[in-house]
Amino acid sequence: MTVIQKKIVAIVDDDPAIRKASQSLLATFGYATYTYDSAEAFLRVAAASKANCVVIDIQLGDISGVELGRRLLESGFRIPIIFMTAVDDDTIRDQAMQLGCVAYLRKPFGADLLIEAIVKAMG
């Protein structure tokens, strides 16, 4: 018997409505999701995460999305990162790009852009 492993996307966003909508959208495309309401929550499990990519909101609580990305890279975490933000800023976008993110999505964005970024991330 062959077991097909679902691709896993971790979603880090402090907005419960965004987490729920993203989770529902990705489920319709066959992705499994794990959601986290803060950078700290994801950092606690990152080392054991089975995620194939992580979607991170830039504006989080105490630790920004970019800082989360930086900490993940420094700790050897090597899965693709997709950043999303409602507040576009050249400096922050440049920092995100320097971290090697697969995509930098500006809210609101279409579902097709998120799916396209995830497909690219999981290449």
**Residue 2 pLDDT exceeds 80:** no
pLDDT confidence of residue 6: 85
The Cα angle at residue 121 between residues 107 and 93, in degrees rounded to 5? 40
Distance from C-alpha of 42 to C-alpha of 47, rounded to nearest angstrom: 9
**Residue 1 pLDDT exceeds 70:** no
Q: What is the residue-averaged pLDDT of the chain? A: 93
Total length of the chain: 123
DSSP label at residue 48: G
Report pTM: 0.94
| Other Cβ atoms within 10 Å of 5 Cβ, number | 8
Instruction: List, for residues 55-92, the tens digit of each pLDDT value.
Output: 999 999 899 999 999 999 999 988 999 999 998 899 99
Q: Can you tell me which residue has the tokens 């609580």?
A: 61
List of residues 6+ apart from 7 with CB closer than 8 A: 30, 31, 32, 52, 118, 122
Q: Which domains does the chain have, with CATH numbers?
A: 8-122 (3.40.50.2300)
